[in-house]
């Protein structure tokens, strides 16, 4: 049975990989940050999205302090790579379709500054009712962003429809009682 969207349905959109393809920009910003801090060149051989775990694999023995420095440097130069991002057309159309009839929240593990840069670059910030970002003070620990959104926005789980591309995040949503029929894997 599929979830039926009505005027009471609350849509939760993930950002990276769901609404906007950010992989190339993310890679280039990390590549630059890694070189600027460590003078190590990483090649364009990684097909997957670079994250903290992959950086630790690439730079074996990387301390948490160095990793934090790389991440901070990446965040500071990210705007230089916004032109390498692109809207994911199918999900963008859904955002537009429901923007006048439903409450729509951006729920992301992306930090606020980078998320807002992306939304503004693609001129889509105004389609959202509100935003849940990764806490600026959260280092490498990932929280359950959907649990945080439900708590902070006082949402009823049965009224939620989630658009998400990452299996781990989908599993976290299911773990807190969101039904599989309420999750659209993009």
For 103-117, how does the pLDDT look when each residue is reduced to its tens digit (9 = 90+)? 999 999 988 999 999
Q: How far is CA 59 from CA 23, 34, 80, 88, in A?
A: 19, 9, 24, 31
Ordered per-residue pLDDT tens for the chain, 186 residues: 477 899 999 999 999 999 999 999 999 999 999 999 988 888 766 656 777 778 887 787 778 889 889 989 999 999 999 999 999 999 999 999 999 999 999 999 988 999 999 999 999 999 999 999 987 554 545 679 999 999 999 999 999 999 999 999 999 999 999 999 999 999
Looking at residue 138, its pLDDT comes to: 47
Calculate ∠ Cα 20-129-169, nearest 5°: 50
Q: Is 20 exposed, middle or buried, given 0-12, 13-18 or 19+ CB atoms closer than 10 A?
A: buried
Looking at residue 78, its pLDDT comes to: 95
69-87 pLDDT, tens digit each:
998 999 999 999 999 999 9
């Amino acid at each position: 049975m599929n979830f039926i969207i009505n005027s009471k349905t609350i849509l939760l959109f993930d950002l990276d990989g769901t609404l906007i393809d950010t992989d190339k920009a993310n890679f280039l910003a990390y590549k630059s940050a890694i070189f600027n801090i460590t003078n190590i060149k990483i090649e364009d051989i990684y097909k997957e999205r670079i994250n903290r775990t992959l950086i630790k694999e690439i730079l074996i023995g990387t301390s948490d302090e160095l990793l934090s420095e790389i991440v901070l440097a990446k965040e500071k130069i990210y705007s230089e790579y916004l032109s390498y991002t692109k809207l994911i057309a199918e999900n963008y159309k859904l955002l537009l379709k429901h923007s006048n009839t439903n409450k729509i929240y951006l729920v992301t593990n992306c930090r606020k500054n980078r998320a807002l840069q992306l939304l503004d670059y693609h001129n889509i910030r105004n389609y959202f009712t509100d935003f849940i970002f990764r806490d600026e003070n959260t280092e490498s620990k990932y929280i359950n962003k959907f649990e945080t959104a439900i708590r902070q926005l006082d949402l009823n789980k049965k009224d939620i429809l989630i658009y998400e591309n990452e299996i781990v995040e989908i599993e976290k949503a299911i773990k807190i009682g969101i039904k599989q029929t309420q999750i659209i894997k993009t």
